[in-house]
Amino acid sequence: DVKVTQSSRYLVKRTGEKVFLECVQDMDHENMFWYRQDPGLGLRLIYFSYDVKMKEKGDIPEGYSVSREKKERFSLILESASTNQTSMYLCASRGLRQGGEKLLFGSGTQLSVL
């Protein structure tokens, strides 16, 4: 069963900590995305990657960075976590050969920054 796996379902961190959110897909998809989901604001794109070692800023990149060293893994990094980064983080992937525009999402990581 093809899937997008996010390493943690729940995460609690302290202000100022460096936080890594990991995402792995097993479908050989070229594109990968990080969204954050907040009540009343929907899904907002943080960063995306078209392929290995490529990355582009989304709509709300401030305070975040990403890494894509291997095709199957896309990491979101909070350099110095702040309380306003408490949110649900969703990873998604898309295979242009396999499914065109269709995004496949992971189950999400609920991050709390105290």
Applying CB under 8 A, the span of 13-21, 37-45, 62-70, 78-86 interacting with other proteins comes to: 37-45
Question: Measured between alpha carbons, how far is residue 1 from residues 4, 14, 25, 27, 73 in Å?
Answer: 10, 35, 11, 10, 18
Q: Does 104 bind other proteins (CB under 8 A)?
A: yes
CB of residue 15 vs other proteins: minimum separation in angstroms? 26
Does residue number 80 form part of the binding site for other proteins (CB under 8 A)?
A: no
Question: Which of residues 49, 74, 93, 108 is near other proteins by CB under 8 A?
Answer: 108
Helical segments of 50-90, H only = none
**Residue 74 dihedral angles phi and psi, to the nearest 5°:** -135, 115
Is 103 an interacting residue with respect to other proteins (CB under 8 A)? yes
